[in-house]
Amino acid sequence: MSNSTVLQKETSKVHQEVIEANQKYVSEFGKKGELALPPARSFTILTCMDARLDPAKYAGLSEGDAHVIRNAGGRASDDAIRSLIISHKLLGTKEFFVIHHSDCGMALFTDQIIRNLLEKSLKTATVDSSGWKNKEESGGSDEARFISFLTFESLEKSVIDDVKRIRNHPLIPKDIPVYGYFYDVRTGKLVEVEEATKIGRAS
């Protein structure tokens, strides 16, 4: 089966664009296949999945340089910490950056809000001045009651909380510095959260 074979009977415009972009990338891949498994610059970034953030650009990364862990909010969830542990223990990273960002969607709702929405519908919700609402209410599930969505009210406190959780985790060595920053979506600047970085100092 060739790499260009499409198994789906119908594909979207986005799907086609991704496959075409990959074909171009493959044609220019060069010697990247020779990159080593451990990240060359020995550090890891934990950041948000927000489409406005490009860690390669805001942190000056090339392929092979660093690990980048992304989730909604850039939170130090159990799974993010699992990845940090593997990043250090098996792949030799020596520094961690926690980077949240301004205008984050995770500050726009609470666990209870999203649980209520999902209980009534799995379709995409909308938001206006009166709050979040479903376009239609059918086919929902109450499974969301088992999920902590890790929402927050204060951007800086969220960075502090996550650095603190990583710093205090028994499987994260104390000699790994954990830096706390947020990315300003209006300027592209990384802004240090000094209290977080103090908490994350190596010892």
Q: Binding site for Zn(2+): which residues?
A: 48, 50, 101, 104
Structure tokens at 54: 């490009």
Annotated binding site: 48, 50, 101, 104
Tell me how crowded residue 55 is: count the other CB atoms within 10 A of its CB: 19
Q: Are 140 and 122 in contact (CB under 8 A)?
A: yes
Q: Which residue has the tokens 């690990």?
A: 67
Angle at 187 between CA 201 and CA 124, to 5 degrees: 95
164-198 in b/e form (b: 16+ CB < 10 A) is bbbbeeeebeeebbbbbbbbeeeeeeebebeebbe
Question: CA 110 → CA 78, 114, 152, 184, distances in Å?
Answer: 19, 7, 8, 22
